[in-house]
C-alpha cells in the first residue's frame, strides 16, 4: 500500500511508523540523563552505591568496584554483597585496569574476590589517568547486550568527568576531607605493612634455620612467605601510585592545560618545570594546578603584560608555585579578586606571598606543605574536615537520629563497624556523646 502524507495531515497508519522509534529513543535518552543526574548529585561516598543501583536492571550484578586514580583520598571503593565486595582488592582490579580500552566495555571472566568470576569491566579516559568500573556478575548470567553496555559506559564516563572536575577545582571542603582521609589511609597501610612485614620476616628467619629437618616443608613455607612479602610491597606501591604524582609529571599536566589559554594571545608564557622527580600528594598537585591557573588569569587582567613565567620547585617539605609577570607591578591580595586561593591554601596549611615592584612586575608565590598540617589548621576551616568519607556518611545518619542498626543496613556494613566509626567520630570531633556530635554536625552543615 502506498501511503501519501501531506503537510499538516495525520493518518492512523503513519503515526506509529514515524514516531514510535523516535519516542522510544527519546525516552531511553531521558531515562539515562535522569539516572546520571541522580548519581552525581549524591554525596561522594554514596555515588558508587547509587550507580550500582541504577545499573542493576541493565546489568544484574552482585557487587561493584571502582579504581579511580584521580581520587587521592579513596581511589578504590567497593559495594554490594559483602561475600563479594569485601574480598575485592586493588590487586584484582589492576590487571583489568591495565588491559582495558577506554570507551570499549569488556565482559568475560576474571579472577576477582578470590575466584574466577564473570564480570563487566568499563574503562574511561575522562580523567587524566583513567578510571575503571567492574561489575561482578552471577555464574550463568546472560551476556549484557550492546545497548546496555553503551549506557553503562556513558554513565561511568559522566560520573568520572564529575570526579575530575571536583579534583581539578580543588574545592576547599573536598580538599580537607581528602587530606584527612589520605593521612588516615597512609597511617593504616603503614601500620599493617609494618605488622605483616615483621611477621613474614620472622617466619622467613625460622624457616631458613638449618635446625629444621623437613626440607620440603621449609621450602614450601619459605616460598609462601616470600610471595606474601612481595605482594605486601606491591600493594604499597600501587597505593602510592594512585595517591601521589611525580612533581614533573604533575607540572606537565598543568602546562598542557595552560597553553591553550594563550594560544591566540600576544602574552608569552614561560614554563619552569621542577627539576625533581619526587612524588607529591595528589591533593597537593591538584591544588597547585588550580592555584596556578587562577593566578595566571588574575595577572592577565593587568595592562600591559607581555610575559608571564610559571614555575614549580620542590624545596624541602614544600612545593613552591611561582607566577611572575612583567606588568605594572600593582597586584595585591585584593587584586586577585574573589578567588578561593586563600581557602585552598588554608586547608593544606600553605601561604601566599605577593611581591610587587612598581613598573617591573609582580611575583606571586604559593607555598604548599607536602606533609599533613596540624589538625587546627584545617579544623578551624571545617570542624568536620578531620573525618574520612565513611565517617561522614555515618555522622550524617547519626545526626538524623538513626540508630546503629539502621545505619548498618543503609551503608551495608555490620553494626560493629558502625560502633567503631562512631567511636572514631567522637574522638576526632572532641565530643563526649552522639548528641554532641549531631549538634556539631547541624551547626556547620
> Can you read off the three cell numbers belonging to residue 47?
555515588
Rounded CA separation 74/236 (Å): 14
CB 30 within 8 A of CB 127: no
Mean pLDDT per 10-residue section of the chain, whose length is 445 residues: 36 42 51 76 79 89 83 73 85 80 87 91 79 91 90 88 66 53 54 60 66 68 69 61 80 89 88 88 84 88 91 89 90 67 77 88 90 47 69 87 88 83 82 83 73
For cell 620472622, the residue is: 202
For cell 571542603, the residue is: 173
Rounded CA separation 427/431 (Å): 7
Long-range contact list for 84-89, CB < 8 A, 24+ apart?
84/113, 84/136, 85/113, 85/412, 87/113, 87/114, 88/63, 88/112, 88/113, 88/134, 88/136, 89/235
CA-CA-CA-CA torsion sign (47, 177, 193, 285): positive
Orientation angle between helical segments 47-55 and 14-40, nearest 10 degrees: 160
With b for 16 or more beta-carbon neighbours within 10 A and e for fewer, the 10-19 pattern comes to eeeeeeeeee
Q: For 21, what's the count of Cα atoms within 13 Å in the CB-facing half-sphere?
A: 3
Rounded CA separation 175/348 (Å): 8
Strand-pairing partners, residue 355, are 363
Return the closest-CA partner of residue 134 out of 121, 147, 123: 121
First-to-last alpha carbon distance for the chain, in angstroms, is 67
**Is beta strand 307-315 parallel, antiparallel or unpaired with respect to 268-272?**
parallel
pTM exceeds 0.75 = no
> What single string gives the DSSP state of each residue in 279-316?
EEEHHHHHHHHHHHHHHHHHHHTSSS--EEEEEEEEET
CB 83 within 8 A of CB 91: no
CB 163 within 8 A of CB 145: no
**Is beta strand 279-281 parallel, antiparallel or unpaired with respect to 131-136?**
unpaired
CB 358 within 8 A of CB 325: no
Return the closest-CA partner of residue 403 out of 387, 419, 388, 389: 419
CB 164 within 8 A of CB 98: no
Strand-pairing partners, residue 101, are 104
Q: For 149, what's the count of Cα atoms within 13 Å in the CB-facing half-sphere?
A: 18
* Per-residue pLDDT, 445: 58
Amino acid at each position: 500500500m502506498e501511503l501519501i502524507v501531506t503537510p499538516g495531515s495525520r493518518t492512523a497508519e503513519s503515526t506509529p511508523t514515524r514516531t514510535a522509534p523516535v519516542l522510544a529513543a527519546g525516552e531511553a535518552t531521558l531515562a539515562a540523563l535522569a539516572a546520571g543526574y541522580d548519581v552525581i548529585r549524591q554525596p561522594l561516598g554514596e555515588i558508587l552505591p547509587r550507580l550500582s543501583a541504577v545499573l542493576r536492571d541493565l546489568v544484574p550484578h552482585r557487587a561493584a568496584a571502582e579504581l579511580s586514580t584521580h581520587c587521592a583520598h579513596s581511589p578504590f571503593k567497593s559495594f554490594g554483597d559483602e561475600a563479594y565486595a569485601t574480598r575485592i582488592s586493588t590487586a584484582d582490579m589492576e590487571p583489568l585496569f591495565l588491559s582495558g580500552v577506554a570507551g570499549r566495555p569488556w565482559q568475560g571472566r576474571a579472577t576477582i574476590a578470590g575466584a574466577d568470576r564473570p564480570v563487566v569491566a568499563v574503562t574511561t579516559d575522562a580523567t587524566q589517568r583513567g578510571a575503571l568500573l567492574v561489575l561482578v556478575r552471577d555464574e550463568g548470567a546472560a551476556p549484557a547486550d550492546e545497548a546496555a553496555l553503551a549506557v553503562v559506559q556513558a554513565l561511568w564516563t559522566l560520573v568520572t568527568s564529575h570526579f575530575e572536575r571536583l579534583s581539578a577545582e580543588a574545592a576547599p571542603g573536598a580538599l580537607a576531607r581528602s587530606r584527612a582521609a589520605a593521612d588516615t589511609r597512609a597511617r593504616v597501610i603503614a601500620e599493617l605493612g609494618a605488622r605483616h612485614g615483621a611477621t613474614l620476616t620472622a617466619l622467613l628467619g625460622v624457616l631458613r634455620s638449618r635446625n629444621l629437618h623437613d626440607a620440603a616443608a621449609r621450602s614450601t613455607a619459605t616460598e609462601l612467605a616470600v610471595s606474601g612479602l612481595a605482594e605486601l610491597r606491591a600493594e604499597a606501591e600501587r597505593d602510592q601510585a594512585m595517591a601521589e604524582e611525580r612533581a614533573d609529571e604533575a607540572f606537565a599536566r598543568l602546562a598542557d592545560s595552560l597553553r591553550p589559554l594563550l594560544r591566540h594571545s600576544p602574552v608569552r608564557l614561560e614554563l619552569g618545570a621542577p627539576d625533581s622527580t619526587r612524588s607529591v600528594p595528589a591533593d597537593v598537585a591538584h591544588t597547585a594546578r588550580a592555584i596556578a591557573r587562577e593566578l595566571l588569569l588574575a595577572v592577565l587582567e593587568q595592562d600591559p603584560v607581555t610575559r608571564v613565567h610559571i614555575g614549580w620547585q620542590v624545596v624541602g617539605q614544600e612545593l613552591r608555585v611561582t607566577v611572575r609577570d612583567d606588568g605594572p607591578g600593582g597586584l595585591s591580595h585584593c587584586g586577585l579578586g574573589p578567588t578561593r586561593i586563600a581557602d585552598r591554601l588554608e586547608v593544606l596549611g600553605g601561604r601566599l606571598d605577593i611581591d610587587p615592584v612598581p613598573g617591573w612586575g609582580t611575583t606571586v608565590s604559593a607555598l604548599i606543605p607536602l606533609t599533613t598540617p596540624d589538625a587546627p589548621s584545617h579544623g578551624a576551616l571545617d570542624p568536620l574536615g578531620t573525618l574520612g568519607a565513611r565517617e561522614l556518611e555515618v555522622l550524617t545518619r547519626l545526626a538524623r537520629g538513626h540508630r546503629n542498626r539502621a545505619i548498618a543496613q543503609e551503608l551495608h556494613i555490620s553494626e560493629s563497624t558502625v560502633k567503631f566509626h562512631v567511636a572514631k567520630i567522637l574522638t576526632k570531633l572532641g565530643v563526649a556523646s552522639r548528641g554532641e556530635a549531631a549538634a556539631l554536625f547541624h551547626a556547620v552543615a
